[in-house]
Amino acid sequence: MLIDPGDDAPSIFRALEEYELTLDAMLCTHGHVDHITASGELKAATGARIFIHERDQWLVDDLPNHCRYLNLPTVEPPVIDAYFQPGKELSIGSMNFEVIETPGHTPGGVCLRMGEHLFVGDTLFHLSIGRTDLPGGNYDQLMRSIRQNLLPLDGALIIHSGHGPDSTLETEKSRNPFLAER
């Protein structure tokens, strides 16, 4: 299972081969190009299923335009196999994830909690938050998502974001300038 396959399929293929792994599923926290571009190629080669929130399907469908806009090689949209069901547990093999809706960075943004780990995509970063100036972004919605859906969780959770270093929820609660009480 892979969270946010990104845009570098060759590196992922090398890692799968090196560690003798099979890929059964890709869980996409949101539909931005830097999180989903490799998913179609990986799916074609491995048969792995792709999951995303249905409110980000429009981003998947528009992937070729986003690639052109960013001057990247054009990639066809991958076929999504299933949409996340927020609030319900998702089981992939022996791993169980809680799907937490966190719209704001994109309309269909989600975070995935597995035990003491919280995969936040681009919702939250170490001492920062995801940008909201891209199409579909909404600052007030992102802040509401973080405050209502993430901050009440256990502060010891290890946060794995889509970019930058890991953190803990407690660190972000106490030191993230975007989360200071207003």
Beta-strand pair 158-161/167-168 = antiparallel
Total count of domains within the chain: 1
How large is the angle between the packed helices 39-46 and 9-18, nearest 10 degrees? 40
For residue 99, what are the β-bridge partners?
A: 112
What pLDDT, in 10s, does the model give residues 27-49?
Answer: 999 999 999 999 999 999 999 99
Extended beta strands in 85-165, E state: 89-92, 95-101, 110-114, 117-121, 124-125, 128-129, 158-161
* pLDDT tops 60 at residue 182: no
Q: How far apart are CA 63 and CA 52, in angstroms?
A: 14
CATH code of 107's domain? 3.60.15.10
What band does 58 get if pLDDT is binned at 50, 70 and 90?
very high
Domain extent for 86? 2-179
What pLDDT, in 10s, does the model give residues 106-139?
Answer: 999 999 999 999 999 999 999 999 999 999 999 9
pLDDT of residue 86: 86
